[in-house]
Each structure stands twice: as C-alpha cells, then as structure tokens.
Amino acid sequence: MSGKYDDILRLSHPTSERHPRMPISDRAAIFSPFAALTGHSAAIAETARLTQRRIELDEDSKARLDLKQQVLAEIIDRQPEVTITWFQPDERKEGGSYVTATGRLKKVDTLERTLVLTDGTKIPLNDVLDLESECLQDILQEEF
C-alpha cells in the first residue's frame, strides 16, 4: 500500500491510563438527537388553542337570572336538579370557555357568592350565564 495513512493504519487503539473506556451503552447517549427548539411545539399548541369571550348580559337577562337564583334559594331544601352554564376564565390567556354542569343544588353561598352542587362543584354567581331547572319552568312563565 502506498496511501497517505499507511503508517498508522495498523496501530492499536490508544488508551488512556487516567480515564477508563466509556461503555458502549453510554456512548449511544452522546449521539442522541439534539432538540434545539425544546418547548416550541407546546408554545405553538397553546397559541392555537381557542378561547371564547365573556358574554355580557343585558338588564333583562340579569333580572331573569336573579329571579331564577331567588327561586332556587327558596326551594334549596329540596335540592332541585339544575343545569348551570357559566363562564370559566382561562388561566393562561385572555378569554375562557363556557361550561355546563347538571346536578343537584346543595347551597347558595351568599358570602362567597357561589352555587354549590351536591358533588362539590362551586360555581361563581358572577360567572353564571344561565340556570335551567324543571322547577323553574312554571314560576318563570308566570313572571315573564
């Protein structure tokens, strides 16, 4: 052979006296792919996630909702079944989403201004958009 590196081709692999050889399993980690944009896909997904704006109720809707709350407070001992739609603000960005839950009403907490269902769900009164219940149908038809 008459190549440029003929003189070193047949030499043994150099080994250090101070540092032991790295196991093959550890060497594989050296060549793992590099993720330069860590968290980038999560940021894109968060930006793409849609939120809704809070609906502002007019005075008639507020009056109707207040009447429903008063009626439910009067019959709270029967634990009426209600369907509540409320605005749940988003923790990370402006806006939020509208959530609907159905359950038995346990308590109207005037101090904390919340509706409490028997399953422990607490709903802020200021965020309630609508209240529906069979027990409200007859009463509200007479009022409005």
Q: Could you tell me if residue 115 is inside a domain?
A: yes
Q: Could you tell me if residue 8 is inside a domain?
A: no
Is 83 a residue whose pLDDT tops 90? yes
Is 107 a residue whose pLDDT tops 80? yes
Same domain, 43 and 64: no
Q: Could you tell me if residue 31 is inside a domain?
A: yes
Instruction: Report which of residues 56 and 35 the model is more confident about.
Output: 56
d(CA 130, CA 80): 15
Q: Which two tokens stand for residue 125?
A: 């009164």
Same domain, 66 and 27: no
pLDDT of residue 140: 59
Confidence of residue 141 (pLDDT cuts 50, 70, 90): low
User: Per the structure, how many domains does the chain have?
Assistant: 2
Q: Could you tell me if residue 53 is inside a domain?
A: no
Is 59 a residue whose pLDDT tops 90? yes
Q: Could you tell me if residue 72 is inside a domain?
A: yes
Percent of the chain with pLDDT over 70: 92
Roughly how many angstroms between the first and final C-alpha of the chain, as a whole number? 105
d(CA 83, CA 61): 17
Q: For tokens 């806006």, what's the residue? A: 95
CATH of the domain at 92: 2.30.30.100
Give me the sign of the Cα torsion angle 55, 60, 62, 65.
negative
Q: Could you tell me if residue 97 is inside a domain?
A: yes
Q: Could you tell me if residue 71 is inside a domain?
A: yes
Q: Which two tokens stand for residue 121?
A: 């769900």
Same domain, 121 and 65: yes
Instruction: Report which of residues 134 and 49 the model is more confident about.
Output: 134
Angle at 93 between CA 92 and CA 96, to 5 degrees: 100
Q: Could you tell me if residue 5 is inside a domain?
A: no
Same domain, 77 and 36: no
pLDDT of residue 40: 81
Domain range for residue 38?
Answer: 13-48
Q: Which of 5, 26, 48 is the last residue of a domain?
A: 48
pLDDT of residue 21: 84
pLDDT of residue 10: 84
CB distance 102 to 80 below 8 Å: no
Question: 107: which strand partners?
Answer: 116
pLDDT of residue 23: 85
Confidence of residue 79 (pLDDT cuts 50, 70, 90): very high
Is 139 a residue whose pLDDT tops 70? no
d(CA 45, CA 40): 9
